[in-house]
Structure 1
């Protein structure tokens, strides 16, 4: 719309210019003026043709606006300065040459003056057009430089992140994995040397949990080292079908109720699994001797899990913890538009309940 208004205004200005300086009512002269004004409609798509069609009106009617605009458009769209100089020369000659329909005699000195005036007039649209073209090129170049700088910043940030991931992977492999491996070895030795069955069962549970933790740590180390590599293979994520094994190997007295074959999406299954995993881990750490009940349920378009444990039967050991487990579960619930509730029960136990939409 804006371009159409500009074109209409320029054509109107060209018509006014020719009408004011109209020298003759000869059909050829009038036709050249009409063609020159109409040619401005072609200046964006065919600037060379538009400029050529405006030259006759510059010669026959001393028109200024139409060839000026056409030459400016040509200068904006062309980088061939020799060609632009030739066009400017033609414009200047058309302006300086006496019109065949001009009644007054032309003096040679006046022709030189008109030529100088025409050269100056023709230089203006060429210089303006080249200035605009150069400005556009500079703007485009600046944008390209900014894009390159942004790309370099992204690459730099990725390089720093890769270094941090590599360092974290080394620490996990050299420290955490080593210590968990020692726990698994010591638990295996205890399992063999334990004098009674309860001790051997406890050692077996510790060894099983240590081996599982070691496998997860190795997977995390591989993922951290291969971050950003499209060929990195992700380990299979747990689903509700793995809950039975998780509850059985939790190392505490736990019971799973409900249907593990709930027809829910993979993100929901993973969130419910991690909720049970975190809740049972907290029971082992903070409620020694407590029993737990894991209940899977579905109510219409909502599915969830409730983990409830009884009060502890002995004091908890002062184990270190980051206190981020429930925070992470809350973030999972928020991402899936669900809810997480946790808190003590009336009998002194603790309950964690996550509910997630399944539609």
Structure 2
């Protein structure tokens, strides 16, 4: 609807400035107005089609809109300078060209300056709109990154508390329950009272069962480094394709697995890929990434490599909680996390995990 409205405004400008008739200048002006329908999909083509109207008539609205649209959709400033100069040249050149005498005179310098000012103003306005759009995108990314960092910081605190709780349960509670089981067994063997023997047997049986449950809880606490509760749906490798497809950068996924992986290993791989793609989008704008997940000899290697950025990155706050959390998760599962730059100025993050978590 906006493009159609711009075409109508441009046609009104043609009607006011040149009128509609069988003349060539009217045809070029109408062509320039209709070319505005291409201003989003092919802005350069639309500008080229609108340029003859500047040369043949005073209907300038379509050409100025074309310059603005080109500036709002391209990042090539030399191209914008050439287009603004072409607009000014067509504005000052006479049409049809005189057969005798010079084409441009000294008295045309003010017109040339006016044409350059018009073209530059439209180009600068388009660049301003583009910068505002990029800034809004970057602000949204900053908000997402901060929320992600806060989440990872909270998860890091949770992981430390769980590790401390697991140590306390293993070193104190399990030890005391083991002593209870041993003393109950000794009492069961040494006593002759049937009631005492039955009570000692019950205490020993319950103590052994409690020890088994404590060992299971300790293993769960040590292996769990992510969500606050295992009752919530957890990501798996089945969701890895959707993660890569919706990461916001151009990325390829290559998965080569020979069997099913334990749930904690799948979560660790998913979170590693998620963090690496987030960092690539944050620190390397315009880069491409490749995600590889391969299983060899009882080990799963996950590698995420991104190329060098093509645009300067906006300085963003970072406390490196993401990599710290990934490294802690890898250590809990008996794996190794490595990260660092590549020779082509990109970045690589790799995670090696045993198929069976400790």
User: Would you say same fold, with TM above 0.5?
Assistant: yes
Give SS of 1:223's match.
helix
Give SS of 2:225's match.
coil
CA offset at residue 179 of structure 1?
Answer: 1.3
Equivalent in 59, 70, 74 of residue 74 of structure 1? 70
| Pair 1:211–1:162, CA change in 2 (3 A) | same
Equivalent in 85, 88, 113 of residue 84 of structure 2? 88
TM-superposition CA deviations, 1:261-288 (whole Å, max 9, x none): xxxxxxxxxxxxxxxxxxxxxxxxxxxx
Contact residue 67 and residue 123 of structure 2 kept, 8 A: yes
Residue 135 (structure 1) aligns with: 132
Contact residue 23 and residue 61 of structure 1 kept, 8 A: no
| Pair 1:215–1:87, CA change in 2 (3 A) | same
CA distance in structure 2 between the partners assigned to 1:121 and 1:32 by the alignment: 20
CA offset at residue 36 of structure 1?
Answer: 0.7
Instruction: List aligned pairs for 1:309-320, cutoff 5 A.
Output: none
Residue 288 (structure 1) aligns with: none
Give SS of 1:207's match.
helix
Range with bigger deviation, 150-159 or 42-51: 150-159
For the aligned residue pairs, the C-alpha RMSD in angstroms reads 2.3
**1:13 and 2:9 matched:** yes
CA offset at residue 107 of structure 1?
Answer: 8.8
Residue 239 (structure 1) aligns with: none
CA offset at residue 204 of structure 1?
Answer: 0.6
Equivalent in 188, 194, 197 of residue 197 of structure 1? 194
Contact residue 57 and residue 63 of structure 1 kept, 8 A: yes
Structure 2 portions without partners, runs of 5+: 228-358
The alignment's TM-score, normalised by the length of structure 2, stands at 0.59
CA offset at residue 208 of structure 1?
Answer: 0.3
| Pair 1:150–1:113, CA change in 2 (3 A) | same
Equivalent in 142, 152, 167 of residue 155 of structure 1? 152
Equivalent in 211, 215, 219 of residue 218 of structure 1? 215
| Pair 1:152–1:107, CA change in 2 (3 A) | closer
Residue 181 (structure 1) aligns with: 178
CA offset at residue 116 of structure 1?
Answer: 1.2
CA offset at residue 220 of structure 1?
Answer: 0.3
Structure 1 portions without partners, runs of 5+: 231-359
Contact residue 24 and residue 101 of structure 1 kept, 8 A: no
Q: Which protein is bigger by CA-based radius of gyration?
A: 1
Higher relative contact order (CA 8 A, sep 6+): 2
CA offset at residue 113 of structure 1?
Answer: 1.9
Contact residue 93 and residue 104 of structure 2 kept, 8 A: no
CA distance in structure 2 between the partners assigned to 1:200 and 1:191 by the alignment: 5
| Pair 1:229–1:36, CA change in 2 (3 A) | closer
The alignment's TM-score, normalised by the length of structure 1, stands at 0.59
CA distance in structure 2 between the partners assigned to 1:107 and 1:23 by the alignment: 27
Contact residue 33 and residue 61 of structure 1 kept, 8 A: yes
| Number of positions where the alignment pairs a residue of Structure 1 with one of Structure 2 | 224
| Pair 1:15–1:229, CA change in 2 (3 A) | closer
CA distance in structure 1 between the partners assigned to 2:165 and 2:174 by the alignment: 12
Residue 339 (structure 1) aligns with: none
CA offset at residue 26 of structure 1?
Answer: 4.4
TM-superposition CA deviations, 1:39-80 (whole Å, max 9, x none): 001111110110000011111112211000011000011111
Contact residue 37 and residue 66 of structure 1 kept, 8 A: yes
CA distance in structure 2 between the partners assigned to 1:225 and 1:187 by the alignment: 30
Contact residue 14 and residue 30 of structure 2 kept, 8 A: no
